[in-house]
Structures are given as C-alpha cells and as structure tokens.
C-alpha cells in the first residue's frame, strides 16, 4: 500500500511538471478576448487576465448601453473563479462586437452562473444568444444551475473582420445576462476539412467540416483525473470518464510518466495536452487469451443533429511496436477496422493520434463509443485502448445549434421598431442557408464582428447581422 501511494504521488508530480512544460509551449492566439462582464475591475483566472467590460482599457472596443446593468452578486461562491461574482444584464436585444484579426475557426465560450441580487434572480432570466447569426442558445435559463457554473463552448468559422454576440430576452418581462466571454482564434489544425461519416455499415467522407458551427457537448479524458484549463494549452476542461463508462469489466486504467511524442502531421499539444494522452483505459489479453468484450461509453445527446465524434489514442501500454490492433465502433457501427497505432502514429510508441467521425443522432437519445479486439489482436498484448473522447453537436439547417427557430424568426419576436431591416434580411438568409445546407451540408460566413459592447438598439444590430450568413 505504501509503494502504491508513493507511485501515485510520483505520477501526480510528473503530471504537474508536464503541465508546466505545456504552459511554457502554450499556444498564442492572434485573437484573444477575455471579458469579465459587469465587473468594475480586471480579474485573473488561471494566469489569464479577464478585462472588465466597464474599464477604460476596453472603452475603445465597447459601445456602452444605457439600458444594460452591471451587477455584483451577493451570493459569492469562494470555490468559483471571481468572474462569476459579477454579471452584465440586458432587458432588450444587445450585443458585444469583437474585431477579428485572424480569420478561421474561433473558440467562443460563454460563462453563466445563477443570479441572486436585490434586482435580479435567475428564475426571471430566459433568453436567446446569437453568434454571427447562428442560434447557439434558445430559451436559455440557468435556473437549474445551483452550485456550479455553466460554460457553453462553440467552435465557429469566421471569415470576416468582426464577430458579433447578441443577447435577446425571450420577452419584455424577461432578461438576458452573461458573466464572462472568451473569443479566441483556434489553431489551424484544430478542426480539419474532412471527417468520416458513419452511416450504418456505410462510411463516406464528410467534407467542409471546418465551416460547420460546433457546440462542445462532452470533453472526456479516459482513465485519468480531471484536466483543468491551467493544464491545457487551449484552456479547456477535460472531465473524467467514469459516469459515461457503461462497464469497466475486463478493462483497466494505465498511466504513463514518460514523454508524449508529438509528431509533425499528427496530433499536436493543442489537439490534446500531455495530461490527456498519458492516461488511458485498455483491454489486455490474459493467459494468452483474447477477451471477448468491448469497452463502451454512452453519452446522452439531442435528437435531430449530426455530431462530430473525436477519439484520441496514444499507445502508452504496449511494450513494443506492432502488437496493438483493435476495432472502433460509433453507435454500434464499425467505424475503424483493425486500427494499428504503430502505423498511424508514425511507428512510435506514446505518439498521439486522433480520428474524427460524423454520425447522426438516433431516437434513443444516446451516442455510444466502443473499442474492442479485432481479428488481428494478439493473445499476449493489449487488445484495445482509448485516451479521450470529444463530442460536438453540429449546426442544422438555417444556422441552428439550439431550439427550432432561426435567427430571423427570433429577432422578429421583438417589435419591428427595434428590429428595423434585420428581420427581412435574416429571413432571406435563413432560406438561403437551408438551400445551401441541402446542397453542400455546410454554412459559410460573409461577415462576422469585433470587440465592442452592447448597443441595445437592434436597428443597428440588424443591418449587420443580416449579412452574416450567405
């Protein structure tokens, strides 16, 4: 027992050292906006500086709204970062505008925590959120969030000079709010152009993947502890897989304290950090016998969407190359047969590899991922491995990531005097998007927007958002 504790302590120490190494080599995005909404002072979280949207330093980026309110929350939670101790509240459609220097995929994170002030309570908050005309939240409420914060994360292609985030209360008696916002340009290899579309026993190419809008639903590290933004070069959170693992029988956790060998053309540290790739679950042969079982994980999903499933692999368990062969299944369908990590990882152990699959959601409301032995598996080796899983919801027709209404119909719920020319423009855009999706299964942006804050006059918002999708 004492030796086990020493080994665990050594492993955690080496994890910490590897995280410091990763931070030293961290990604430096061209666009990096961290906004502490409603705060009167700047806030540091995980060595990252969130700028107050009320400060002079951001005054040239923000257009203040006389109708928005900055509130300090009375229920300060010492376990949460200070960005959740304040919020910006809107009683009519309002926007933040961010200047874009580096066109391409951008990470957008919206932070929410329940309100409890003398003026506002969470139960009265219900609102929509649009990002460059994409509906990312519809009829959203945080009333059910009790003790933890909610972070909504999106990956959106920006092919313009600006990115606009618009908040719209569902009705005049409701309000919208946000605690913090992140807009960060992503590495060019984070989302590639092509994935494998798994449709029953048929596998085709799914093209123009990077032009889709994606919502991160699950980001799970397999077999290891939680990975925090402090230990990730893209400031992501990776949760343990325990609650999603259907059965652990026949599998075991493995850990590595050695170096992860990132190679050119393979997975980079931005695709997955060291702390994700140096833990895994494996199926191992016993007594020269190949187990007749699969490791399976199940994730609740929303019907009616396609999902991008990214699976991460890194052979930290084999004693030699050429010993590990296994099959990969998504929704019970064979997605990768006889996967040989020695080949795909450039004939190097501990070299990470990832595979992208696109699947439809089924009526069961569950998306499953399985790994198990193949016909080439060996009776004296590891017969299956998985290091991490990411599942991202893809936008459906007319730029919808949540709900059933496109941006034009949502904006139309506000009086025409506030909406101006935006409604007919957005309505026309919705039709164009629908036709475009039918033909290309992708969405394109002509314009997006920059870092400016909160004009609540939708007549200004509309003329710009109307050109977001073409």
Q: Domain span at residue 11?
A: 2-26+214-394
CB of 183 closer than 8 Å to CB of 106: yes
Tell whether 281 and 220 lie within a shared domain: yes
* Last residue within a domain, chosen from 334, 368, 394: 394
Residue identified by tokens 């200070």 is: 82
Answer yes or no: is 399 within a domain: no
Tell whether 218 and 323 lie within a shared domain: yes
Residue 25 confidence (pLDDT): 53
Give the count of domains, the chain.
2
CA distances (Å), 191 to each of 106, 284, 356, in order? Answer: 10, 32, 9
The strand pair at 127-131 and 162-169 is best described as antiparallel
Residue 145 confidence (pLDDT): 56
Tell whether 223 and 370 lie within a shared domain: yes
Answer yes or no: is 196 within a domain: no
Residue 454 confidence (pLDDT): 52
Cα–Cα distance for residue pair 47/115, rounded to 1 Å: 26
Cα–Cα distance for residue pair 299/305, rounded to 1 Å: 14
* Last residue within a domain, chosen from 394, 421, 447: 394
Tell whether 257 and 148 lie within a shared domain: no
* Last residue within a domain, chosen from 367, 394, 421: 394
Answer yes or no: is 284 within a domain: yes
Beta strands in 200-245 (DSSP E): 202-206, 214-221, 239-240
Tell whether 144 and 246 lie within a shared domain: no
Answer yes or no: is 349 within a domain: yes
DSSP, residue by residue, 119-166? S-BGGGB-EEEEETTEEEEEEE--TT--SS-EEEEEEEEE-SSEEEEE
Residue 66 confidence (pLDDT): 56
**Per-residue pLDDT tens digits for 227-278:** 999 999 999 999 999 999 998 788 999 999 999 999 988 899 999 999 999 9
Tell whether 363 and 249 lie within a shared domain: yes
Answer yes or no: is 423 within a domain: yes
Q: Across-strand partners of 109? A: 153, 182
The strand pair at 48-52 and 32-36 is best described as parallel
Cα–Cα distance for residue pair 66/373, rounded to 1 Å: 63
Tell whether 375 and 454 lie within a shared domain: no
Tell whether 220 and 166 lie within a shared domain: no
Other CB atoms within 10 A of residue 345 CB: 22
Tell whether 6 and 60 lie within a shared domain: no
CATH number, domain with residue 333: 2.60.120.430
Answer yes or no: is 38 within a domain: yes
Q: List the chain residues with pLDDT less than 70.
A: 1-26, 56-66, 74-77, 144-147, 416-470
Tell whether 229 and 377 lie within a shared domain: yes
Tell whether 258 and 160 lie within a shared domain: no
Tell whether 331 and 454 lie within a shared domain: no
CB of 244 closer than 8 Å to CB of 300: no
CB of 192 closer than 8 Å to CB of 209: yes
CATH number, domain with residue 432: 2.60.120
Answer yes or no: is 305 within a domain: yes
pTM, rounded to two decimals: 0.85
DSSP, residue by residue, 338-392? EEEHHHHTTS-TT--EEEEEEEE--TTSEEEEEEEE-TT--TTSEEEEE-EEEEE
Answer yes or no: is 401 within a domain: no
């Amino acid at each position: 027992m004492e030796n086990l504790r020493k080994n665990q302590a050594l492993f955690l120490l080496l994890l910490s050292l590897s995280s410091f190494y990763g931070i030293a080599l961290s990604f430096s995005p061209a666009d990096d906006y961290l906004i502490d909404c409603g705060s009167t002072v700047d806030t540091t979280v995980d060595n990252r500086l969130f700028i107050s949207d009320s400060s002079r330093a951001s005054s040239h980026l923000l257009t203040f709204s006389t109708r928005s309110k900055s509130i300090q929350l009375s229920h300060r939670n010492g376990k949460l970062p200070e960005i959740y101790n304040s919020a910006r509240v809107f009683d009519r459609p309002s926007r933040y505008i961010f200047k874009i220097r580096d066109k391409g995929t951008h990470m957008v994170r919206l932070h929410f925590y329940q309100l409890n002030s003398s003026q506002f309570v969470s139960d009265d908050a219900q609102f929509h959120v649009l990002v460059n005309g994409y509906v990312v939240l519809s009829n959203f409420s945080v009333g059910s969030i009790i003790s933890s914060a909610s972070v909504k994360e999106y990956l959106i292609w920006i092919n313009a000079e600006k990115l606009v985030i618009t908040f719209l209360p569902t009705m005049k008696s409701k309000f919208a709010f946000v605690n913090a916002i992140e807009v960060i340009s992503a590495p060019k290899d984070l989302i590639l152009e092509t994935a494998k579309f798994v449709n029953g026993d048929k596998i085709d190419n799914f093209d123009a993947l990077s032009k889709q809008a994606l919502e991160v639903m699950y980001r799970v590290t397999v077999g290891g502890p939680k990975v925090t933004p402090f230990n990730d070069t893209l400031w992501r959170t990776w949760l343990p897989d325990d609650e999603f693992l259907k059965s652990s029988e026949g599998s075991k956790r493995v850990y590595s304290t050695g170096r992860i060998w990132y190679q050119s053309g393979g997975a980079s540290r931005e695709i997955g950090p060291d702390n994700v790739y140096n833990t895994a679950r494996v199926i191992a042969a016993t007594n020269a016998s190949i187990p007749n079982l699969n490791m399976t994980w199940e994730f609740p999903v929303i019907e009616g969407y396609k999902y991008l499933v990214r699976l991460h692999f890194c052979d930290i368990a084999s004693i030699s190359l050429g010993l590990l062969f296994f099959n990969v299944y998504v929704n019970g369908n064979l997605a990768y047969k006889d996967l040989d990590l020695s080949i795909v990882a450039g004939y190097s152990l501990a070299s990470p590899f990832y595979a992208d699959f696109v699947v439809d959601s089924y009526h069961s409301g569950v998306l499953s991922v399985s790994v198990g032995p193949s016909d080439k598996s060996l009776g004296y080796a590891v017969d299956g491995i998985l290091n991490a899983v990411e599942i991202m919801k893809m936008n459906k027709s007319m730029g919808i990531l949540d709900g059933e209404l496109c941006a034009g119909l949502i904006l139309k719920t506000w009086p025409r005097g506030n909406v101006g020319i935006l409604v007919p423009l957005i309505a026309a855009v919705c039709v164009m998007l629908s036709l475009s999706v039918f033909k290309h299964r992708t969405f394109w942006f002509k314009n997006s927007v920059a870092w400016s804050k909160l004009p609540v006059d939708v007549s200004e918002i509309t003329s710009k958002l109307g050109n977001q999708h073409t």
